[in-house]
């Protein structure tokens, strides 16, 4: 978390503005001018001291920007345009509920909708949104925010929760109260945060977005890249432009572009090694995670018997470095009874760590992450679309049957493609989750796929011929519909829908096996000798 953007029409620097004009109330008008309906006493419209907020943010190393919109800027769209642009780089967005006295928080909700829509167009952004208000009806404000977000809300705080929050996946929305608002004592008082304490509270709420072991590594990695961006820029300075252009002249455009991307990725890996981001997965970090996510005692059924193991035992199970799936734990229901959890409990340990959740789905998501470099059409911006290369998984049809293929063309032969070039493919078979499978992926329609290699021998591979584009690669085309798809067309016009792209090591391992089979030497030898070698 680095940046905070605040939108508040009552933002002031230091002391509040002095009253420069007195208005004499008309006779008989006191009930209106001094009621809660008047502008001067509008409930929920307390000022915000920007100097206190920005100073407190700076003390924590955070950058805080404040937008104070006028009524005209709010009406003519200037505020919306500025906020959406600023929010693209903001980690935290703080909104006042009543901007220029807009009724029912309508202006603030419109801003929230604009930012949310922009995030969705950009495939989401890790963001905290905080409504910071002195409005007396906090429960009503919370309901309005929840209704505005609608189906985007995945989870929310309960009635007994002392805080008010909404989980929208990559975005978390919280409700906090300004000091000095018109409110009674009770649960609402727990939401009140002083301006000087607001940055610290925002940091704590932002941390909730990434309060997992794996997500901590991702966040720590981003922080390491940010902190060492100068090192990255030094390694890839403008002095390399001319030799790159020379290389591109001799080798061609697409592969030269990919080379630089790979070099930058390798350098980022070096930054992460230097920052030691692995420490977020060490035993101490796992113990902290377990305190929040694992019950004191866990009930299991092992070989049709009920057993209970302690949280300490389970921490030892998941934090050990050399268990290799085997570790003895104590059955709390029977004194002195120990059993080997890995050998005797046949289900996934994921099910023990996530009671009430589908262990199969969680394991599937992790498996997909490890074997696929790309499986979602959304990472392709603008006119960029997938190219056919080593490790590309495509789907076609043989009659009414869906056919899945893995491109086995060596990487260097997928560039500088002329008019026509045959591409070899390894057949993949779609199987059930209970069958043997080698890969997992989401179909273009978002369904879970379990894929097994259908080629037992190198001669089981098939070939389809494609033509290259002006850049010398076989590039897919966008096809609109209920779900946007990317489609390769072979020289016969047959469509092949892009499904995924394997990580290089996963693709290369299988292709290496096929290559070894194709290059083996056949021998005529005595049966006894051959039989002896196969004992």
Q: Identify the pLDDT of residue 284.
A: 86
Scan for tokens 């990695």, then name that residue.
221
Q: Identify the pLDDT of residue 18.
A: 52
DSSP state of 177: E
Are 464 and 496 contacting, i.e. CB atoms less than 8 angstroms apart? yes
For the record, the structure tokens of 54 come out as 């920005």
Q: Identify the pLDDT of residue 388.
A: 95
Nearest to 152 by CA among 185, 129, 184: 129
Q: Identify the pLDDT of residue 215.
A: 84
* Length of the chain in terms of residues written: 535
Are 499 and 444 contacting, i.e. CB atoms less than 8 angstroms apart? yes
The alpha carbon torsion through 425, 426, 427, 431 (nearest 10 deg) reads -130
Q: How far from chain centre, in Å, is Cα 254?
A: 28
pLDDT in tens, the chain (535 residues): 788 999 888 888 765 555 556 666 655 444 434 334 434 444 556 788 888 989 999 988 888 988 888 888 878 888 888 877 887 778 899 999 888 877 788 888 888 888 888 777 665 677 899 999 888 888 889 999 999 988 888 888 888 888 889 988 888 999 999 886 555 455 567 788 888 999 999 988 888 877 788 888 888 888 888 888 888 889 999 999 999 999 988 887 778 888 899 999 999 999 999 889 888 888 888 888 888 888 888 888 888 888 898 888 888 888 888 888 888 888 888 877 888 888 888 888 888 888 767 888 999 999 999 999 999 866 676 678 999 999 999 999 998 899 999 999 988 888 889 889 999 999 999 999 889 999 999 999 889 999 998 766 777 889 999 999 988 899 999 988 788 899 999 999 999 999 999 998 888 887 787 777 777 777 788 888 888 887 7
Distance CA 194, CA 370 (A): 44
> For the chain, give me the number of helices (H) and strands (E)?
18, 23
Q: Identify the pLDDT of residue 30.
A: 44
Distance CA 410, CA 428 (A): 18
Q: What is the mean pLDDT of the chain?
A: 84
Q: Identify the pLDDT of residue 29.
A: 46
Estimate the share of the chain in helix, then strand, then coil, as percent rounded to the nearest 5.
40, 20, 35
Task: Report the sign of the C-alpha dihedral through residues 308, 310, 315, 317, in that order.
Answer: negative
256 three-state secondary structure:
helix
pTM here is 0.72
Distance CA 276, CA 4 (A): 27
For the record, the structure tokens of 320 come out as 């050990």
For the record, the structure tokens of 292 come out as 């929040």
Q: Identify the pLDDT of residue 456.
A: 67
Q: Identify the pLDDT of residue 41.
A: 41
The alpha carbon torsion through 286, 288, 293, 295 (nearest 10 deg) reads 100
Q: Identify the pLDDT of residue 40.
A: 42
Q: At what angle do helices 283-293 and 213-227 cross, to 10 degrees?
A: 130
Are 130 and 95 contacting, i.e. CB atoms less than 8 angstroms apart? yes
58 three-state secondary structure:
helix
Q: What is the 3-state secondary structure (H, E, C) of 213-245?
A: HHHHHHHHHHHHHHHCHHHHHHHCCHHHHHHHH
For the record, the structure tokens of 69 come out as 């919109």
Scan for tokens 């299988």, then name that residue.
510
Task: Enumerate residues 6+ apart whose C-beta is below 8 A from 154.
Answer: 167, 168, 169
Give the H or E element holding residue 257: helix 253-275
Strands 11-12 and 48-49: parallel
């Amino acid at each position: 978390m680095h940046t905070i953007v605040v939108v508040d029409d009552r933002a002031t620097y230091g002391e509040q503005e002095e009253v420069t004009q007195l208005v004499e109330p008309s006779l008989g008008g006191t009930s209106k001018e001094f009621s809660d309906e008047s502008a001067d006493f509008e409930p929920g419209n307390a000022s915000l001291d920007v100097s206190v907020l920005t100073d407190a943010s700076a003390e924590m190393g955070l950058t805080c920007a404040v937008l104070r919109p006028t009524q005209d800027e709010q009406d003519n769209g200037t505020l919306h345009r500025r906020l959406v642009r600023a929010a693209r780089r903001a980690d935290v967005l703080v909104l006042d509920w009543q901007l220029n006295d807009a009724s029912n928080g309508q202006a603030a909700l419109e801003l929230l909708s604009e930012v949310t829509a922009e995030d969705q167009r950009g495939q989401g952004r890790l963001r905290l949104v905080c409504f910071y208000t002195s409005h007396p009806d906090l429960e009503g404000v919370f309901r309005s925010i929840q209704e505005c977000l609608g189906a985007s809300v995945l989870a929310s705080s309960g009635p007994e929760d002392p805080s008010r929050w909404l989980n929208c996946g990559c975005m978390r929305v919280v409700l906090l109260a300004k000091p000095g608002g018109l409110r009674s004592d009770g649960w609402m008082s727990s939401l009140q945060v002083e301006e000087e304490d607001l940055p610290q509270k925002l940091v704590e709420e932002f941390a909730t977005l990434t309060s997992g072991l794996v997500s901590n590594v991702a966040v720590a990695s981003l922080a390491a890249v940010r902190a060492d961006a100068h090192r990255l820029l030094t390694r890839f300075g403008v002095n390399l432009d001319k030799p790159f252009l020379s290389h591109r002249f001799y080798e061609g455009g697409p592969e030269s572009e990919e080379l630089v991307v790979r070099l930058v990725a390798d350098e980022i890996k070096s930054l992460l090694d230097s920052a030691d981001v692995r420490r977020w997965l060490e035993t101490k970090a796992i113990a902290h995670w377990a305190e929040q996510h694992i019950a004191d005692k866990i009930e299991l059924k092992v070989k049709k018997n009920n057993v209970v193991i302690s949280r300490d035992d389970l921490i030892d199970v998941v934090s050990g470095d050399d268990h290799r799936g085997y570790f003895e734990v104590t059955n709390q229901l029977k004194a002195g009874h120990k059993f080997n959890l890995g050998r005797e409990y046949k289900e996934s340990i994921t099910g023990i760590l996530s009671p009430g959740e589908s262990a199969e789905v969680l394991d599937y998501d992790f498996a997909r992450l490890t074997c696929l470099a790309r499986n979602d059409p959304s990472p392709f911006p603008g006119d960029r679309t997938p190219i056919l290369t080593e490790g590309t998984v495509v789907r076609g049809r043989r009659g009414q049957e869906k056919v899945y293929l893995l491109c086995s063309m060596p990487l260097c032969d997928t560039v500088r493609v002329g008019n026509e070039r045959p591409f070899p493919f390894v057949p993949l078979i779609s199987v059930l989750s209970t069958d043997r499978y080698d890969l997992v992926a989401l179909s273009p329609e978002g369904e879970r796929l379990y894929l097994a290699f259908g080629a037992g021998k190198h001669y089981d591979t098939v070939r389809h011929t494609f033509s290259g584009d002006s850049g010398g690669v076989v590039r897919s085309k966008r096809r609109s519909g209920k779900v946007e798809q990317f489609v390769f067309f072979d020289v016969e016009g047959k469509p092949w829908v892009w499904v995924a792209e394997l990580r290089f090591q996963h693709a290369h391992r299988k292709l290496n096996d096929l290559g070894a089979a194709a290059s083996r030497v056949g021998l005529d030898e005595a049966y006894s000798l051959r039989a002896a070698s196969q004992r």
